[in-house]
Structure 1
Amino acid sequence: MNPLFGEFIGTALLVLLGNGVVANVILKGTKGHNSGLIVIAFGWAMAVFVGVFSVAAISGAHLNPAVTVALAVAGKFAWADAPGYIAAQMLGGMAGALLMWLIYRDHFDHTDCADTKLAVFCTGPAIRSTGGNLLSEVLATFVLVFAILSMVAPKVSLGAMDALPVALLVLGIGVSLGGTTGYAMSPARDLAPRIMHAILPIKGKRDSDWRYSWVPVIGSLLGATLAAVAHSVA
């Protein structure tokens, strides 16, 4: 498989399952309705696990423009290949959001709150404060990327289980730092589904909160860059 297609498929799987668990928890009438943040955090961790082990051998499983930028800053990935990876990740995020909407379309139709419908697709702050929200995204992404860069490949491969440390990392970030902004940590996880929210014919939807949309994008890229620099000098 072509590495770019691998990034597309891996990111699509990640967003399908990750946004899918959010839909299951907050949309009206689902079997997982109101099951809470712990379920969402665990679901996102498993989404990362599936995405990473599915395409790690094909593309390296960046699945996140912030990770791609960090690896390039750290000298572990060619800058010339970064635009293609990022484009594939963004398209994959859009595809995953589309599939999630198709699966949960009836529940979107039965949910009255437009804010809830938006929250299935993308993150938003619990308390809107630009400085604090940006700091939350920067620090969460810093933890994610610094830990990923610090992971040493095992001498004996465990196959799919090699993706488990990254999944546990995302779970830890979710339950510890996810209460402020929803820990986007990736434009492909936040901006790409937000675009789909704007495009799709969702019954009773609101605007896509574009005035906040730059925070998870800039925050994740800045946090990833700082992590790459810190890791390089550590």
Structure 2
Amino acid sequence: MTTGVPATAVKAPAEFGVVSKLVAEAFGTFLLTFGALGVALFSSPSSAPIPTPFAVGLSIAVGIASVGHISGGHFNPAVTVGLAVAGRTNWRLVPGYIASQLVGGIVGTLLLWVTVRTLPSLAQSNNVQTIFTQLSNGVDDLSPSKFPMAGGLLAEVVATAAFVAIILFVTSKRAVKGMAPWAIGLGLAVLVQAIAPITNASLNPARSTATAVFADWTALGQLWIFWVAPILGGAITGLIFRGFGSPDELHSATAGGVTDLTAEATRDDSVRVSEAVEGTPVSTTAEAAEPKHVADTGADRAVTGSEPAAPEPTAGRTPDDDARDFFDKNR
């Protein structure tokens, strides 16, 4: 029994507008600075034992899981530039994304600054500046281990290049669905832990700017390093991906649209565009689920003049054969 309702094409979800994308980027960067830097400011092994690198990675993972389907979940100017160079983000989105990331990061840090100043023992501005200088990124005297500029530049370039590579690979059309937020977050946590003793681990110009504006002037004087190095690292990875990446994933964010392919990687792809012949009846769910058993009355043989096709033999099949068939059907 059928419903008699003509089949219609199932439309994919519409792309989010530019304003929605910008708000999502601001929110994600706010979550990064307020959450991760808040852990660095106020945590202690007894009251809040989450390590700062893990807090950074977890905040990014949660942000991507929350709003990544809207904007792609960059939350980082270096990521935005790297994905644009790779052809995964439209260049028209880049200025707005970077501005939104700066706004979100500064607002998150501003709230932390106001909170710190409510402590009577830290009410003096020079004490608060000292705290945010320690949170800021730096080299030479501002480096936690006193690394020179050459070491800081190299560490930031390499770490950001690796981070953007993780994003490009895990958001590929061939990657395991649903793993992008957590792979990106855990990858960032590892990289932050690796170079924290060198530069206090930036990998993100928005994060560096957010703390530097509340820190001592020496942190502002070194801020250019944490714009140049991460963006250079992201651009290098984008160029490599553009040269050697899969052809069906390159140049997809065309000049005529405002798409971001990293956003598609975090959306539910269970609803796809399907073409149907107009007027074809659609079966009900229950009917579609029930297998139809038709008795062999010989009428088919009389009409076609041939025997019905025999089922494929199953003798000799192994569990490995069944597994290969399963993955082939769902590839």
- Specify the TM-score bucket, using the shorter chain as the normaliser: 0.7 to 0.9
Alpha-carbon distance between aligned partners in 1 of 2:68 and 2:60, rounded to the nearest angstrom: 11
How far 1:128 sits from its partner (Å)? 4.3
AA matched with 1:15: T
The answer to whether structure 1 residue 60 and structure 2 residue 75 are counterparts is: no
Is residue 232 of structure 1 aligned with residue 250 of structure 2? no
One-letter amino acid of the structure 2 residue matched with residue 228 of structure 1 = G
Contact conserved, 1:150 with 1:231, CA < 8 A, in 2? no
Distance of 1:137 and 1:83 partners within structure 2 = 22
AA paired with 1:141?
A: T
Distance 1:110 1:43, change over 3 A: farther
Mapped partners of 1:186, 1:172: distance in 2: 15
Taking the TM superposition and a 5 Å limit, the aligned residue runs for 1:88-127 are 88-107=100-119, 109=122, 112=127, 114-120=129-135, 122-124=136-138, 125-126=143-144, 127=146
Q: Give the aligned partner of residue 150 of structure 1.
A: 169
Aligned to 1:17: 35
The answer as to 2:148 corresponding to 1:129 is: yes
Judging changes above 3 Å, is the alpha-carbon distance between structure 1 residues 214 and 155 closer, same or farther for their aligned structure 2 residues? closer
Of Structure 1 and Structure 2, which has the larger fraction of its residues in helix? 1
Paired residue for 2:231, among 221, 227, 230? 221
Residue of structure 2 equivalent to 1:42: 54
What displacement does 1:175 show? 2.2
User: 1:181 aligned to 2:228?
Assistant: no
Deviation at 1:117, TM superposition (A): 3.2
CA distance in 2 between partners of 1:81 and 1:113 (Å): 35
State the alpha-carbon separation in 2 of the partners of residues 73 and 79 from structure 1: 8
Q: Give the Cα–Cα distance (whole angstroms) in 2 for the partners of residues 180 and 81 of structure 1.
A: 32
Structure 2, unaligned stretches of length 5 or more?
A: 1-18, 245-331
Between 40-49 and 125-134, report the one with greater CA deviation: 125-134
Secondary structure of the 1:178 match is helix
- In structure 1, distance between residues paired with 2:28 and 2:187: 18
Q: Match of 2:228, SS?
A: helix
Q: Contact 1:142 / 1:226 at 8 angstroms: preserved in 2? A: yes
Mapped to 2, the partners of 1:113 and 1:98 lie a distance apart of 12
Aligned-partner Cα distance in 2 for 1:57–1:226 = 25
Deviation, 1:213, is: 1.0
Quote the residue 2:304 is aligned against. Answer: none
Q: Distance in 2 between matches of 1:88 and 1:71?
A: 17
Cα pair 2:87 2:242 within 8 Å, conserved: no
Amino acid at match of 1:212: Q
The question of 1:81 aligning with 2:81 is answered no
- State the match for 1:201 in structure 2: none
Please state how far the C-alpha of 1:231 moved relative to its aligned partner: 2.2
Distance 2:53 2:174 in 1: 26
**Given the superposition, is the C-alpha separation of residues 154 and 21 from structure 1 closer, same or farther in structure 2, using an over 3 Å criterion?**
farther
TM-score (norm 1): 0.82
Paired residue for 2:209? 191
Q: 1:3 aligns with which of 3, 13, 21?
A: 21
Rg larger in 1 or in 2? 2
Unmatched tracts of structure 1, length 5 or more: 199-205
**Letter paired with 1:79:** W
User: Which secondary structure does the structure 2 equivalent of 1:63 belong to?
Assistant: coil
User: In 2, are the aligned partners of 1:24 and 1:31 still within 8 Å (CA)?
Assistant: no
Contact 2:25–2:100, Cα closer than 8 Å, also in 1: yes
* Contact 2:117-2:128 at 8 Å conserved across structures: no
Q: Which amino acid aligns with 1:81?
A: L
Relative to structure 1, the CA distance from residue 114 to residue 155 in structure 2 (aligned partners, 3 Å threshold; closer, same or farther) is: closer
Look up the SS of the partner of 1:185 in the other structure. Answer: coil
Whether contact under 8 Å (2:137, 2:201) holds in the other structure is yes
The total of aligned residue pairs comes to 216
